Protein backbone atom coordinates (compact mmCIF):
# COMPACT_ATOMS: atom_id res chain seq x y z
CA UNK A 1 0.00 0.00 0.00
CA UNK A 2 1.18 3.51 -0.79
CA UNK A 3 1.07 5.94 2.13
CA UNK A 4 0.55 9.66 1.57
CA UNK A 5 3.03 12.46 1.93
CA UNK A 6 1.89 15.63 3.72
CA UNK A 7 1.18 17.16 0.30
CA UNK A 8 -1.34 14.53 -0.77
CA UNK A 9 -2.78 13.88 2.71
CA UNK A 10 -5.62 16.29 1.92
CA UNK A 11 -6.55 14.41 -1.23
CA UNK A 12 -7.51 11.42 0.89
CA UNK A 13 -8.88 13.05 4.04
CA UNK A 14 -10.35 16.43 3.09
CA UNK A 15 -13.74 15.06 2.08
CA UNK A 16 -14.44 13.61 5.53
CA UNK A 17 -11.85 15.27 7.79
CA UNK A 18 -14.44 17.43 9.56
CA UNK A 19 -16.46 14.31 10.32
CA UNK A 20 -13.45 12.60 11.88
CA UNK A 21 -12.33 15.72 13.76
CA UNK A 22 -15.37 17.96 14.20
CA UNK A 23 -15.23 21.62 15.11
CA UNK A 24 -16.68 20.93 18.54
CA UNK A 25 -16.17 21.58 22.24
CA UNK A 26 -12.83 19.75 22.18
CA UNK A 27 -11.57 22.17 19.52
CA UNK A 28 -12.83 25.08 21.61
CA UNK A 29 -10.85 23.76 24.58
CA UNK A 30 -7.64 23.77 22.54
CA UNK A 31 -8.41 27.27 21.29
CA UNK A 32 -9.01 28.45 24.86
CA UNK A 33 -5.67 27.06 26.03
CA UNK A 34 -3.79 28.62 23.12
CA UNK A 35 -5.52 31.97 23.47
CA UNK A 36 -4.28 32.29 27.04
CA UNK A 37 -0.74 32.39 25.66
CA UNK A 38 -1.54 35.28 23.33
CA UNK A 39 -4.21 37.62 24.69
CA UNK A 40 -7.10 39.12 22.78
CA UNK A 41 -4.91 41.56 20.83
CA UNK A 42 -2.36 38.95 19.75
CA UNK A 43 -1.77 37.05 16.53
CA UNK A 44 -0.86 33.44 15.87
CA UNK A 45 0.61 31.23 13.17
CA UNK A 46 -0.69 27.67 12.77
CA UNK A 47 1.49 25.19 10.89
CA UNK A 48 -0.69 22.49 9.39
CA UNK A 49 -3.96 24.42 9.67
CA UNK A 50 -6.06 21.87 7.78
CA UNK A 51 -9.71 22.90 7.59
CA UNK A 52 -9.35 25.36 10.47
CA UNK A 53 -10.63 23.21 13.32
CA UNK A 54 -8.42 25.12 15.78
CA UNK A 55 -7.64 28.29 13.83
CA UNK A 56 -11.25 29.40 13.48
CA UNK A 57 -12.23 29.25 17.18
CA UNK A 58 -8.83 30.69 18.12
CA UNK A 59 -9.39 33.62 15.74
CA UNK A 60 -12.64 34.31 17.59
CA UNK A 61 -10.58 34.84 20.74
CA UNK A 62 -7.55 36.77 19.42
CA UNK A 63 -6.85 39.33 16.71
CA UNK A 64 -5.81 37.12 13.78
CA UNK A 65 -4.51 33.67 12.78
CA UNK A 66 -2.34 32.88 9.76
CA UNK A 67 -2.87 29.26 8.77
CA UNK A 68 -0.30 27.41 6.67
CA UNK A 69 -0.93 24.08 4.98
CA UNK A 70 0.49 22.22 2.00
CA UNK A 71 -2.92 20.77 1.00
CA UNK A 72 -5.02 22.89 -1.39
CA UNK A 73 -8.02 20.66 -0.66
CA UNK A 74 -7.87 21.38 3.06
CA UNK A 75 -7.35 25.09 2.46
CA UNK A 76 -10.37 25.29 0.14
CA UNK A 77 -12.53 23.97 2.98
CA UNK A 78 -10.91 26.40 5.40
CA UNK A 79 -11.62 29.35 3.10
CA UNK A 80 -15.25 28.23 2.79
CA UNK A 81 -15.61 28.28 6.58
CA UNK A 82 -13.80 31.62 6.85
CA UNK A 83 -16.27 33.10 4.34
CA UNK A 84 -19.20 31.60 6.21
CA UNK A 85 -18.10 32.60 9.73
CA UNK A 86 -16.13 35.78 9.07
CA UNK A 87 -13.25 34.35 11.12
CA UNK A 88 -10.04 36.41 11.02
CA UNK A 89 -7.96 33.65 9.44
CA UNK A 90 -5.66 33.98 6.43
CA UNK A 91 -5.00 30.71 4.59
CA UNK A 92 -1.56 30.24 3.04
CA UNK A 93 -0.53 27.29 0.87
CA UNK A 94 3.07 26.52 1.81
CA UNK A 95 5.38 23.84 3.20
CA UNK A 96 5.59 24.08 6.99
CA UNK A 97 9.21 22.89 6.87
CA UNK A 98 10.37 26.06 5.17
CA UNK A 99 7.60 28.62 5.68
CA UNK A 100 8.80 32.16 6.26
CA UNK A 101 7.17 35.59 6.22
CA UNK A 102 7.99 39.07 7.50
CA UNK A 103 6.09 38.72 10.77
CA UNK A 104 6.93 37.57 14.27
CA UNK A 105 4.06 36.01 16.19
CA UNK A 106 3.36 35.81 19.93
CA UNK A 107 2.21 32.25 19.25
CA UNK A 108 3.26 29.64 16.70
CA UNK A 109 1.72 26.20 17.00
CA UNK A 110 1.46 22.79 15.32
CA UNK A 111 -1.19 20.50 16.80
CA UNK A 112 -3.05 17.25 16.07
CA UNK A 113 0.16 15.36 15.28
CA UNK A 114 1.10 17.61 12.36
CA UNK A 115 4.82 17.53 13.10
CA UNK A 116 4.77 13.73 13.14
CA UNK A 117 3.70 13.70 9.49
CA UNK A 118 7.27 14.68 8.67
CA UNK A 119 8.75 11.22 8.77
CA UNK A 120 12.44 11.86 9.34
CA UNK A 121 14.25 13.69 12.10
CA UNK A 122 15.96 16.17 9.78
CA UNK A 123 12.64 17.35 8.35
CA UNK A 124 11.16 17.72 11.82
CA UNK A 125 14.24 19.63 13.00
CA UNK A 126 14.00 21.95 9.99
CA UNK A 127 10.32 22.62 10.63
CA UNK A 128 10.95 23.50 14.27
CA UNK A 129 13.85 25.77 13.32
CA UNK A 130 11.72 27.73 10.86
CA UNK A 131 8.85 27.82 13.33
CA UNK A 132 11.16 29.23 16.01
CA UNK A 133 12.23 31.97 13.60
CA UNK A 134 8.62 33.14 13.41
CA UNK A 135 8.18 33.39 17.20
CA UNK A 136 8.41 36.90 18.64
CA UNK A 137 10.68 37.49 21.67
CA UNK A 138 8.72 36.44 24.73
CA UNK A 139 6.37 34.42 22.51
CA UNK A 140 5.65 30.70 22.45
CA UNK A 141 5.92 27.66 20.23
CA UNK A 142 3.43 24.89 21.06
CA UNK A 143 3.64 21.37 19.64
CA UNK A 144 1.01 18.69 20.24
CA UNK A 145 1.77 15.25 18.88
CA UNK A 146 1.61 11.53 19.58
CA UNK A 147 3.47 10.14 22.58
CA UNK A 148 5.50 7.06 21.53
CA UNK A 149 5.32 5.07 24.80
CA UNK A 150 1.63 5.85 25.17
CA UNK A 151 0.86 4.70 21.63
CA UNK A 152 2.93 1.55 22.06
CA UNK A 153 1.13 0.81 25.32
CA UNK A 154 -2.20 0.94 23.47
CA UNK A 155 -1.06 -1.93 21.21
CA UNK A 156 -0.09 -4.17 24.14
CA UNK A 157 3.31 -4.68 22.59
CA UNK A 158 1.96 -5.78 19.21
CA UNK A 159 3.43 -4.28 16.05
CA UNK A 160 0.10 -4.75 14.23
CA UNK A 161 -3.09 -3.60 15.90
CA UNK A 162 -6.68 -2.80 14.91
CA UNK A 163 -9.03 -0.40 16.65
CA UNK A 164 -12.70 0.47 16.30
CA UNK A 165 -13.77 3.91 17.49
CA UNK A 166 -17.56 4.46 17.51
CA UNK A 167 -18.83 7.98 16.81
CA UNK A 168 -21.95 9.64 18.26
CA UNK A 169 -23.88 9.51 14.97
CA UNK A 170 -25.72 6.16 14.80
CA UNK A 171 -24.09 3.76 12.36
CA UNK A 172 -20.80 5.63 12.20
CA UNK A 173 -17.32 4.66 13.32
CA UNK A 174 -13.66 4.48 12.39
CA UNK A 175 -11.77 1.20 11.91
CA UNK A 176 -8.00 1.68 11.91
CA UNK A 177 -5.26 -0.86 11.35
CA UNK A 178 -1.86 0.15 12.73
CA UNK A 179 1.63 -1.02 11.99
CA UNK A 180 4.40 0.33 14.20
CA UNK A 181 8.07 -0.22 13.47
CA UNK A 182 9.85 0.47 16.75
CA UNK A 183 13.27 0.48 15.10
CA UNK A 184 12.37 3.36 12.77
CA UNK A 185 9.56 4.91 14.88
CA UNK A 186 7.33 4.85 11.78
CA UNK A 187 3.62 4.42 12.36
CA UNK A 188 1.51 3.36 9.39
CA UNK A 189 -2.25 3.59 9.73
CA UNK A 190 -4.98 2.54 7.32
CA UNK A 191 -8.47 3.86 8.03
CA UNK A 192 -11.98 2.79 7.08
CA UNK A 193 -14.59 5.45 7.86
CA UNK A 194 -18.16 4.14 8.09
CA UNK A 195 -20.98 6.65 8.10
CA UNK A 196 -24.64 6.24 7.18
CA UNK A 197 -23.95 3.19 5.02
CA UNK A 198 -21.03 4.75 3.13
CA UNK A 199 -17.39 3.65 3.31
CA UNK A 200 -14.31 5.80 2.81
CA UNK A 201 -10.70 4.70 2.96
CA UNK A 202 -7.50 6.61 3.66
CA UNK A 203 -4.01 5.93 4.93
CA UNK A 204 -1.22 7.88 6.59
CA UNK A 205 2.37 7.62 7.71
CA UNK A 206 3.75 9.31 10.83
CA UNK A 207 6.99 9.31 12.77
CA UNK A 208 6.49 8.86 16.50
CA UNK A 209 8.61 11.56 18.10
CA UNK A 210 9.57 11.67 21.77
CA UNK A 211 9.30 14.77 23.96
CA UNK A 212 13.09 14.68 24.31
CA UNK A 213 13.50 14.94 20.54
CA UNK A 214 11.13 17.88 20.27
CA UNK A 215 12.92 19.61 23.13
CA UNK A 216 16.28 19.06 21.42
CA UNK A 217 14.96 20.58 18.18
CA UNK A 218 13.52 23.58 20.02
CA UNK A 219 16.51 24.33 22.23
CA UNK A 220 18.86 24.13 19.25
CA UNK A 221 16.58 26.68 17.56
CA UNK A 222 17.02 29.07 20.50
CA UNK A 223 13.85 28.35 22.47
CA UNK A 224 13.53 27.57 26.17
CA UNK A 225 11.43 24.63 27.42
CA UNK A 226 8.46 25.96 29.32
CA UNK A 227 5.94 23.20 29.95
CA UNK A 228 5.29 19.56 29.06
CA UNK A 229 1.75 18.29 29.58
CA UNK A 230 -0.23 15.21 28.65
CA UNK A 231 -3.28 17.13 27.46
CA UNK A 232 -4.85 20.56 27.04
CA UNK A 233 -6.03 20.52 30.66
CA UNK A 234 -2.39 20.94 31.69
CA UNK A 235 -2.11 17.47 33.23
CA UNK A 236 1.59 16.81 33.91
CA UNK A 237 3.23 14.58 31.33
CA UNK A 238 3.14 10.85 31.88
CA UNK A 239 4.41 8.10 29.60
CA UNK A 240 1.02 6.41 29.41
CA UNK A 241 -0.66 9.35 27.71
CA UNK A 242 -1.27 8.90 23.94
CA UNK A 243 -0.39 12.54 23.28
CA UNK A 244 1.66 15.35 24.76
CA UNK A 245 1.69 19.14 24.52
CA UNK A 246 5.11 20.79 24.63
CA UNK A 247 5.37 24.56 25.12
CA UNK A 248 8.54 26.57 24.51
CA UNK A 249 9.36 30.25 24.97
CA UNK A 250 11.65 32.52 22.97
CA UNK A 251 13.81 34.57 25.34
CA UNK A 252 13.68 38.37 25.08
- Tens digit of each residue's pLDDT (9 = 90 or more) over 35-87: 999 989 999 999 999 999 999 999 999 999 999 999 999 999 999 999 999 99
- Tens digit of each residue's pLDDT (9 = 90 or more) over 128-156: 999 999 999 999 999 999 999 999 998 88
Domain ranges, ordered by start, for the chain:
6-147+209-249, 150-204
Rounded to 10 degrees, the C-alpha dihedral 56/59/65/68 comes to -10
| Residues contacting 152, CB < 8 A, separation 6+ | 180, 182
Q: What is the pLDDT of residue 1?
A: 44
Q: What is the CATH number of domain 6-147+209-249?
A: 3.40.50.150
What order do you get walking across the sheet with 198-207 strand by strand?
160-166, 173-181, 186-195, 198-207
Q: Where is pLDDT greater, at 31 or 169?
A: 31
Q: What is the pLDDT of residue 156?
A: 86
Q: What is the pLDDT of residue 9?
A: 78
- pTM for the complete prediction? 0.94
DSSP state of 236: B
Q: What is the pLDDT of residue 220?
A: 98
Nearest 5°: the CA angle 41, 250, 25 is: 50
Residue 117 to residues 122, 123, 124, 145: CA-CA distances in angstroms?
Answer: 13, 10, 9, 10
Q: How far does Cα 140 stand from its chain's mean position?
A: 16
- Tens digit of each residue's pLDDT (9 = 90 or more) over 159-174: 899 999 999 888 899 9
Amino acid sequence: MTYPTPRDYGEQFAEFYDELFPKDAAADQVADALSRLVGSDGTALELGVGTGRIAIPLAQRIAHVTGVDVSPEMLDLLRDDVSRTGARVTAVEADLRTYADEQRYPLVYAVCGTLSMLVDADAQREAVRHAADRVAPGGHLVVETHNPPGILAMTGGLSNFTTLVPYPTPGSGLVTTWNINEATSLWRASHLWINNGSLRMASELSRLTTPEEIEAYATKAGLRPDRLASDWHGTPYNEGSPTYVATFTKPH
